[in-house]
Structure 1
């Protein structure tokens, strides 16, 4: 954790904030800050800051804003769709989404997925904390929007999407480099990650009917979180 994430609702009228729990422990025991020292702070959807440690007690820290910093990184203006991953995989996805600052993450249950995954805390109450974990690592200040399409049809969603839809698959007709050649990497795009077992024949027929682009990240089978990481790395470096 290189940055401390603080929400605007925590900051009082004097631009100070009282921090307890894991963030306090991190400031005290990991960063080993003392009163008067400075810490880097991320305020989601606001920016990057430097706060000073005003008071450091046994169970709490009081921080006060002293400086506005330039944005640590430019977020990726992309959206990503995932075919309801295993909860442990989703934790990694949300961490990466927070670290890179993508615009939106969508979770939908395609026909082959285990609907019981929806009952996991990662889909009900842990999402924001996992995004914050990623943001605290990189200093990204754009909070990704997370949409849980629990009772929605994923094909209807894709049909209604107004931007460019990129279907990711090992056997996609276009290599990922084509995005750079076409200059599309900054347009509104939805990257669709399917089930790790692969798309069904009826899915491919659906994609063809909508004339959707298919993109390959390479000729090897990747687990969802590794494929997502590969895509983010490629887009971020370009």
Structure 2
């Protein structure tokens, strides 16, 4: 936890009051914090800065907010459309892409996505929020991404994709494409990444017909969480 992310509801005047067990345990066992220490904090949706730990017990941490005037790091200019991964991989992927600065995420159903994945507890709003917060804490960021669930490929193709492509360069990451992944681009981008096993040929065909460009990361077949991290790092 490189940043103590504060919910606005935890702030009263010049003080913040934390009562959740996870952050208190982290403060005690990892930071080994004691009263008087200065730590980096950030207000969700706002600025960051230093705060002094006034009190730390088994059930509560109180901070004096001294100066929250530091801007969070800039976001990546990308909307990530990700075929819904298996639940354990989803949790890690959400944390990784949030730490990298992705602010718009669409989780998409495709042919090779198991329908049972949509019943996973990991898709509950509170679980998604938890993973996003962990990503922000890791990267010292304060702005939560938005996550949209799109449970049908054809409705996404017909109803959402045209709007998402407006003002964006559409890139489909898929093995076997002729174009290599671009490097260090600056334009707003819609990045589409398939599931384990990739998109089926019909899905790739329809995405290309809609105006997306196909690209690859080389001859190696990577796990989704590895591929997404590699793509974002190479693109931006």
Local SS of the residue matching 1:126: helix
Tell me the equivalent position of 1:216.
216
Q: Secondary structure at the match of 1:42?
A: strand
Aligned-partner SS, 2:170? strand
By how many angstroms is 1:14 displaced? 3.1
Compared CA separation, residues 208 and 231, structure 1 to 2 (3 A): closer
Partners in 2 of 1:209 and 1:77 — Cα distance? 23
Q: Distance in 2 between matches of 1:2 and 1:211?
A: 40
Structure 1 residue 231: Cα displacement: 1.6
In the alignment, structure 2 segments of 5+ residues that lack a partner are none
Q: Post-superposition shift, 1:16? A: 2.5
What is aligned with 1:136? 137
Provide runs of 4+ in structure 1 moved above 4 Å: none
How far apart in 2 are the matches of 1:15 and 1:208?
53
C-alpha offsets along residues 23-43 of structure 1, whole Å, 9 cap, x if unaligned? Answer: 011112210111111111132
Q: Distance in 1 between matches of 2:140 and 2:150?
A: 29
C-alpha change, 1:211 and 1:196, in structure 2 (3 Å) is same
Q: What's the TM-score once normalised by structure 2's chain length? A: 0.89
Q: Could you give the per-residue CA deviations for residues 171-213 of structure 1, whole angstroms, max 9, x where no partner exists?
A: 2232223x53xxxx33221100012212222123213322321
Equivalent in the alignment of 2:179 = 174
**1:57 matched residue in structure 2:** 57
Structure 2 counterpart of 1:29? 29
How many Å separate the matches in 2 of 1:75 and 1:110?
27
Does residue 159 in structure 1 map to residue 159 in structure 2?
Answer: no
Q: Secondary structure at the match of 1:176?
A: coil
Aligned pair count reads 231
Alpha-carbon contact 1:48-1:68 (below 8 Å) kept: yes
Counterpart in the other structure of 1:85: 85
Single out whichever of 12-21 and 80-89 deviates more from structure 2.
Answer: 12-21
Match of 1:62, SS state, is strand
Structure 2 residue 205 is the aligned partner of structure 1 residue 202 = no
- 2:180·2:218 contact (CA, 8 Å) conserved in 1? yes
Deviation at 1:20, TM superposition (A): 3.1
Displacement of 1:69 in angstroms is 4.9
Once residues 68 and 116 of structure 1 are traced to their aligned partners in structure 2, the CA distance between those partners, rounded to angstroms, is: 44
TM-score (norm 1): 0.89
CA contact (8 A) 2:38 2:52 kept: yes
